[in-house]
Amino acid sequence: MEGAGVHIDHDVAQERWNIRTHFFTLTLGVTGRRQLAVFSWRNEQTGTEWVKAPVPFFSFGVTLNETAMTSLSPQNDDGAFILTEARQKKKNELTELQFYLRHQRLGLVALVWLRAFDGSSVLETGFTVRNESGEIVRVSAIDPLIMSAHPNA
């Protein structure tokens, strides 16, 4: 790959994003349930593939009216966070993907972002969650994710 920058290829038809650097290639996409998922994450230095099957990119547990739910469960009848929009931003050495998600049944909306830095193996994610339901929702087990591909490991 040329240069030490971050390159993003977006396949509109398949709803996939390939984030490529000298260190890694990360493929995000939309599942049949319209959930945002990691399809592949490969170390470009060693050829190691770290993802064996698609995994949700954004998930957390919530309790609504004393009913525990998680967006990780593939059989979750209480709905899931689905992708509604994606945007890409580039500023200097920072590339950011923003994913807008809406829960199918609850009034929860999430903005999830992924940041990659030119010349670095670091990926950073963050999120905001907004309750638009008017009901009290207790959120638990919510953690930001920071991933780093170590080319010499």
Tens of pLDDT, residue by residue over 72-116, are 555 555 677 889 999 999 899 899 999 999 888 778 898 999 898
The per-residue pLDDT for 145 is: 47
Which tokens sit at 70? Answer: 């998680």
3-class SS string, the chain: CCCCCCEEEEECCCCEEEEECCCEEEEEEECCCCCEEEEEEEECCCCCECCCCCEECCCCEEEECCEEEECCCCCCCCCCEEEEEEEEEEECCEEEEEEEEEECCCCEEEEEEEEEECCCCEEEEEEEEEECCCCCCEEECCCCCEEECCCCC
pLDDT at residue 149, as a whole number: 44
What's the mean pLDDT in 27-55? 88
pLDDT of residue 147: 44
Percentage of the chain beyond pLDDT 70 is 73
Top-ranked range on mean pLDDT: pick from 3-7, 50-54, 143-147 = 50-54
Q: Give me the pLDDT at residue 124, please.
A: 86
> Higher-confidence residue: 67 or 25?
25
